[in-house]
A and B are shown apart, each in its own frame.
Chain A
């Protein structure tokens, strides 16, 4: 039997252990169902892309993984999500769970603390007090988020006063400071210029060696550049999960997938 390069790619990814297992996930806000019938596995060291139009349930998906439904009395999550094989519904220490998952949301949130304290916040929440250790973490995370050169001389100025693009990279640095096992990026490039976007994309490719990444993006080409496998969410359903290249050139199980990636919609 001949194994095509594409099959080989699938096998390489799915040969890794499952990092995040989702089965029959259903999310609703009150009576409104935002997402249903999602079953997929995300493997270690994978960049998993999620594409789809607005209101498809992409952000709700991320929130459910992070158990943010705890803070929204209107949000209900049914089904099963496992992280490292453990059911996240049954995790007693949700804070420990969230600490292992870094999140970057589309609108940058520079906390009204200094740039340094923004990045040092998560280590401090874990109980890290050594200044030298914090210095190392702050510099490493800011460098990785391609922000260090711009802010190294003003680490004490307010993070919330940086420009939009800088704040977004600060948010990424903050997520990295958690030392996450899973990094979830929700349209991170929305407030970032193309050059910086490319630099962050390079960083993400390097990070794949250490962490699993879920990349929600509006830019179909960004998913194509980065993601090993990609899912298409449409109207609250997951209509396609496959090796990214297949969505563009190979077999797809739903014709709407091809329409979407080629921009033939509506």
Chain B
């Protein structure tokens, strides 16, 4: 009754073949991740130490630590966040909760998509023209951070808008029916339920900002500085540019040092990403409707 026909057998063979092929492709996908991390840990781990993280480079950067670059990256990210989060969240709230569906809103949405597609080196040139020269910030933390902020603005806007729109429309209507204004509805019902999603987007922005090189190299990041920055109008060293410098620009570089820098940088990014994933899982567990 259930004997396999020739057609059944052929289908079975084809299905096994495809399952194997598709599985194999997926396997190849994780290979680069494992290789990159493995190599960085193997070659970089020996130089990681307390001194490496918390002292400055010495002997023409061929020895010593990375503290100025580490501090610089943290500063750049912080200032960039201060600029992009209020602007991005405000824009997303307007677009999601207030904006009527007309050509102007559609144009803004199109602009955001295009902003996300602009290559980072073009952002860098824009940063030089706008912040360094026009606003006369000079090459400084402020100019570099603002360039980074503009580059990551689409990430914040899209993440915020999506978490706002995940809040069911029925909640808003229930509030409006009670005589709440749009802002009362946003503040009391919509925002509290979207805030974890917004936070996830912000953390993803941090991890992206920390790794960028092109937008900061003409606007505020320096090759080498003997002193730590005193204000946002000073230049600073940064992890990403430092990695570029120690791996290509300095002769007689000890082999392990660039790998150590790369390992610290990627750890920062991975830490941020895991934080964001953990937050998302926590959010899913606490789902309120």
Asked if A121 is an interface residue, CB under 8 A from chain B, the answer is yes
B interface, over-half SS = helix
Given A71-B173, A107-B170, A98 and B288 touching (CB < 8 A)? no
Asked if A174 is an interface residue, CB under 8 A from chain B, the answer is yes
> Interface size (B, Cβ < 8 Å)?
20
Q: Mark B254-289, 1 if CB is under 8 A from A, else 0.
A: 000000000000000000000000000000000011
Asked if B225 is an interface residue, CB under 8 A from chain A, the answer is no
Closest-CB distance, A216 to chain B (whole angstroms): 15
Q: Mark B162-174, 1 if CB is under 8 A from A, else 0.
A: 0000000011011
B288 pairs with A112, CB closer than 8 A: yes
Q: Mark B148-172, 1 if CB is under 8 A from A, else 0.
A: 0000000000000000000000110
A-B CB pair tally, cutoff 8 Å: 66
Among A66, A71, A175, which residue has the most Cβ atoms of chain B within 10 A?
A71
Which residues of B lie under 8 Å from residue A102 when comparing CB positions?
A: 178
Chain A residue nearest to B288 in the complex (CB): A112
Given A109-B170, A125-B184, A160-B289, A73 and B175 touching (CB < 8 A)? no
B176 pairs with A98, CB closer than 8 A: yes
CA distance A98 to B174 in the complex (A): 11
Asked if B15 is an interface residue, CB under 8 A from chain A, the answer is no
Which residues of B lie under 8 Å from residue A121 when comparing CB positions?
A: 175, 178, 180, 188
B289 pairs with A112, CB closer than 8 A: yes
Asked if B177 is an interface residue, CB under 8 A from chain A, the answer is yes
CA distance A201 to B188 in the complex (A): 31
Which residues of B lie under 8 Å from residue A103 when comparing CB positions?
A: 177
Given A107-B170, A160-B288, A98 and B179 touching (CB < 8 A)? yes
Specify which of A66, A96, A124, A161 is in contact with B177 (CB 8 Å cutoff): A66
Chain A residue nearest to B289 in the complex (CB): A160
Closest-CB distance, B113 to chain A (whole angstroms): 23
Q: Mark B49-81, 1 if CB is under 8 A from A, else 0.
A: 000000000000000000000000000000000
CA distance A102 to B177 in the complex (A): 7
Q: Categorize the interface residue count of chain A.
A: 20 to 34
Given A73-B101, A160-B288, A122 and B170 touching (CB < 8 A)? no
A109-B173, A110-B289 known; 18 other A-B pairs, CB under 8 Å? A68-B176, A95-B179, A97-B179, A98-B178, A99-B178, A99-B179, A102-B178, A109-B170, A111-B174, A112-B171, A121-B178, A121-B180, A121-B188, A125-B179, A125-B180, A161-B288, A174-B174, A175-B178
Chain B interface residues toward A at CB < 8 A: 100-101, 170-171, 173-181, 184, 188-189, 192-193, 288-289
